[in-house]
Chains A and B, each alone.
Chain A
Amino acid sequence: MGTRLTRRVAMSSVLPAPNPADLERIYRTLRLIRRVEEEIARIYPTDKIKSPVHLSIGQEAVSVGICDVLRSDDAVSPTYRGHAAFLAKGGSVRAMMAELYGKATGITGGKGGSMHLIDMSHNLIGTSAVVGTTIPVALGFALAFKRAQTDRVVVTFFGDGATEEGVFAESLNFASLHKLPVLFVCENNYYAIHTPITKRWATQRLCERVDTYGIPAYQIDNGDVIALRALAADVIARVRRGAGPIFLECRTYRWREHVGPNEDFDAGYRPRTEFVPWLENDQVERIGTMLAQQCRKEIDAGVEQEIADAVEFAESSPFPEIETLYTDVYTDQ
């Protein structure tokens, strides 16, 4: 279900269900992200990956539900917890894995690591390790798209923590003032690093706050990838038609620690009981069960093959030449 402020809309009853091809594609992307990150977690203790990783495990549905209805020429601005959006928008598993290994074949040649993923060939705007900083940059792309009189749309992902930064409010205002083609997507996983939202927000009325900027705001609170995808299709079409920015608050849950490969329910800042309903509502498993068993098996096998290939690619790739330390400091270098 999605809600616009206090108005609740039963999304699944008013929007058409995805067809089998859609379901297979959605499942494949969900599964790919989940398994890539589980593989990263598996490899991590070997210390071959020399990059802090903020895993999206548990949050895949937000990226997948939204990116699935975008055009290839639409732009996406992920966060530093960005593997999910990177892969959902079509970023290469090989180039991402090689980047985590710090190899020359990585998406930024070993210059950026997990927190600075980018792929301009897929209109994936670069990610940032400083919370909230990507939001206005995404607006700059939207401004350029609008000035060029295209109907391209920009999606900017950010977490609940980013909504506390001043730049978030500045960006909402500017996007609304200029009717920019932007979809704001807040992945609200209830924690900024380890601090719960209840210690950070005076009220939980994020959508109401956003609405006062003249931006329609919707909340999806159950992580349902199909409902989210349907809502995304609707709001992206409106943004594309020139309606101005729209805001989605997608409640979700981070299954692993803030940074690193492990679970951290024993750390004391959040109880495992809080996690259980999200685990039971796992969208990867849920969509998987909607597929025929054979179909799911084939998809899973394809995913495993792609990941094995990417890991092999990363491991066998060379480290960058030392001379590249000095390249790309300036554009004319």
Chain B
Amino acid sequence: MSIPTSNERLLTYVDALREGVAQEMRRDPSVFLFGLDTDDHKAIQGSTRGLVEEFGPERVFGTPLSEDAMTGVAIGAAMAGMRPIHVHIRMDFLMLAMNQLINIAAKSRYMYGGQVKVPMVVRSMIGKSWGQGAQHSQGLHAMFMHVPGLKVVAPSNAYDAKGCLITAIRDDNPVIFVEHRLLYFTKAYVPEEPFEIQFGQSRICTRGDDITIVGISNMVIESLRARELLSENGIEAEVIDPVSLTPLDTDTIVKSVRRTGKLLVVDNGWTSCGASAEIAACVAEHAWNGEPVQIRRMGFAPTTCPTTPPLEQAFYPDPVKIAQTAYVMVRPNAAPWRPDPERAKLTYQMKFRGPF
């Protein structure tokens, strides 16, 4: 699976999201979008801009601060034949919807013996920087990966954002759609016509024989920068983006690790019982071919996210930390190496300014 690189428009992640929804709403009158503030002047950082004007307040509407009930409404509407997209401006707010998502959305198809389907999309955004802090920056995708019946997808670029959102809307199951705030203004080549990204297919972003680095959500971007730093030292990393976390294509990762013998998983979330733990376990179970395999995980520090910049920086993996970890895995006996932090800075991180 490759990303097109020519003859296409460069589009931001946020515009790709908006375009994908608008095209699906034009195609299918059963699609509607709702959630707190989806129809206000800020339009969820622009991702829902223009939708209420084009489709009207019956198909695009704001809601009371009632995530629990609104999730139930989405589930009921989906069972009744509609295709709701429920938008949350922060992934943290999904905690208010957990009962409906876990106890009803995930289980209905099964516990009702196949009599209903629940085709709904739950859009949610992970925040970072400018003091987002404890309750505005959590990557909680692993909680949803734990439960059968839900699909979980975390696009890392504009191309996947559009394709995955269209696939999610057309999917007959509840899909937790994990966006990242810092990715909103990153650009990629994105076809104008609607297209789908098949879930359950990892993307090999760059080829390399020395180590396999799996990045999740925005950690794909950070891992790619780490790869550049490593490359200057003669280490070639294979960077893989799982794209969808449920279903999870571990075959691609396992194949890569059998070749490199080394796996570093970098998650935009905690490591404990996290996506990185799941990927590491799958590789440990399936990659063995007689040769030892080294496995390391990186993710949020095992703390709550702090607000002050120095602590926040220490909380997250970044290209320097990723590159250093990979370097030690590949060259355990080499002298310590620290890349130039200036060269490790990422445009998307530098461009972001608050207030949120």
Question: Is A107 touching B113 in the complex (CB atoms < 8 A)?
Answer: yes
Question: Is B113 touching A143 in the complex (CB atoms < 8 A)?
Answer: no
Q: A135 contacts the other chain (Cβ, under 8 Å)?
A: yes
Q: A139 contacts the other chain (Cβ, under 8 Å)?
A: yes
Question: Is A126 touching B76 in the complex (CB atoms < 8 A)?
Answer: no
> How many residues belonging to A are interface residues under a CB distance threshold of 8 Å?
41
Mark the stretch among A17-25, A168-176, A240-248 that contacts chain B.
A168-176
- Interface residues in A102-161 by Cβ distance below 8 A to B read 106-109, 111-112, 116, 118-120, 125-126, 128, 130, 133-145, 147
Question: Is B75 touching A170 in the complex (CB atoms < 8 A)?
Answer: no
Encoded as 1 (CB less than 8 Å from any B CB) or 0, chain A from 181 to 211 comes to: 0000000000000000000000000000000
Q: How far is the CB of A172 from chain B (nearest CB, A)?
A: 9
Q: How far is the CA of A111 from the CA of B107 in the complex (A)?
A: 10
Q: B281 contacts the other chain (Cβ, under 8 Å)?
A: no
Question: Is A138 touching B109 in the complex (CB atoms < 8 A)?
Answer: no
Q: B314 contacts the other chain (Cβ, under 8 Å)?
A: no
- Supposing A141-B77, A331-B117 touch, asked if A133 and B72 sit within 8 A by C-beta, the answer is yes
Q: A45 contacts the other chain (Cβ, under 8 Å)?
A: no
Q: Which of B63, B103, B112, B114 gathers most chain A CB within 10 Å?
A: B112
Question: Is A170 touching B149 in the complex (CB atoms < 8 A)?
Answer: no
Q: How far is the CB of B28 from chain A (nearest CB, A)?
A: 13
Contacts of A332 in B (CB 8 A): 172-173
* Residue in contact with B116 in the complex, picked from A120, A139, A174, CB distance below 8 Å: A120
Interface residues on B, range: 35 or more
Q: How far is the CA of A174 from the CA of B116 in the complex (A)?
A: 24
Q: B335 contacts the other chain (Cβ, under 8 Å)?
A: no
Q: A167 contacts the other chain (Cβ, under 8 Å)?
A: yes
Q: B148 contacts the other chain (Cβ, under 8 Å)?
A: yes
Question: Is A120 touching B109 in the complex (CB atoms < 8 A)?
Answer: no
Contacts of A173 in B (CB 8 A): 64, 66
* Residue in contact with B66 in the complex, picked from A111, A137, A174, A328, CB distance below 8 Å: A174
Q: How far is the CB of B152 from chain A (nearest CB, A)?
A: 12
Q: B104 contacts the other chain (Cβ, under 8 Å)?
A: yes
Mark the stretch among B78-86, B267-275, B340-348 that contacts chain A.
B78-86
Question: Is B79 touching A141 in the complex (CB atoms < 8 A)?
Answer: yes
Question: Is A144 touching B77 in the complex (CB atoms < 8 A)?
Answer: yes
Q: How far is the CA of A143 from the CA of B172 in the complex (A)?
A: 19
- Supposing A107-B113, A137-B104, A174-B64 touch, asked if A331 and B82 sit within 8 A by C-beta, the answer is no
Q: B329 contacts the other chain (Cβ, under 8 Å)?
A: no
- Supposing A170-B66, A174-B64, A331-B172 touch, asked if A108 and B73 sit within 8 A by C-beta, the answer is no
Q: How far is the CA of A328 from the CA of B115 in the complex (A)?
A: 9
Contacts of B104 in A (CB 8 A): 128, 130, 133, 137
- Supposing A130-B99, A177-B64, A331-B172 touch, asked if A136 and B76 sit within 8 A by C-beta, the answer is yes
Question: Is A143 touching B76 in the complex (CB atoms < 8 A)?
Answer: yes
Nearest A residue to B115 via CB reads A120
Q: How far is the CA of A173 from the CA of B70 in the complex (A)?
A: 11
Question: Is A140 touching B74 in the complex (CB atoms < 8 A)?
Answer: yes
Question: Is A116 touching B79 in the complex (CB atoms < 8 A)?
Answer: no
Question: Is A112 touching B69 in the complex (CB atoms < 8 A)?
Answer: no
Q: How far is the CB of B55 from chain A (nearest CB, A)?
A: 12
Q: B132 contacts the other chain (Cβ, under 8 Å)?
A: no
Q: How far is the CB of A313 from chain B (nearest CB, A)?
A: 17
Q: A268 contacts the other chain (Cβ, under 8 Å)?
A: no
Q: Which of B68, B100, B172 gathers most chain A CB within 10 Å?
A: B68
Contacts of B110 in A (CB 8 A): 111, 328-329
Q: How far is the CB of B340 from chain A (nearest CB, A)?
A: 47
Contacts of B276 in A (CB 8 A): none
Question: Is A167 touching B103 in the complex (CB atoms < 8 A)?
Answer: no
Contacts of B149 in A (CB 8 A): 329-330
Encoded as 1 (CB less than 8 Å from any A CB) or 0, chain B from 92 to 136 comes to: 000000011001100011111111111100000000000000000
Question: Is A118 touching B69 in the complex (CB atoms < 8 A)?
Answer: no
Contacts of A328 in B (CB 8 A): 109-110, 113-114
Contacts of B66 in A (CB 8 A): 167, 170-171, 173-174
Question: Is B82 touching A147 in the complex (CB atoms < 8 A)?
Answer: yes
Q: B157 contacts the other chain (Cβ, under 8 Å)?
A: no
Q: A166 contacts the other chain (Cβ, under 8 Å)?
A: yes
Question: Is B69 touching A139 in the complex (CB atoms < 8 A)?
Answer: yes
A residues in contact (CB < 8 Å) with B: 106-109, 111-112, 116, 118-120, 125-126, 128, 130, 133-145, 147, 166-167, 170-171, 173-174, 177, 327-332
Given A128-B104, A144-B81, A167-B72, 16 further pairs, Cβ under 8 A: A108-B113, A111-B111, A126-B111, A136-B69, A139-B73, A140-B72, A141-B80, A142-B76, A143-B82, A167-B68, A170-B70, A171-B69, A174-B73, A330-B149, A330-B173, A332-B173
Q: Return 13 A-B CB contacts under 8 Å, by A number.
A: A126-B111, A128-B104, A133-B103, A136-B70, A136-B71, A136-B72, A137-B75, A139-B72, A141-B77, A144-B77, A167-B66, A174-B69, A174-B70
B residues in contact (CB < 8 Å) with A: 32, 58, 63-64, 66, 68-82, 84, 99-100, 103-104, 108-119, 148-149, 151, 172-173
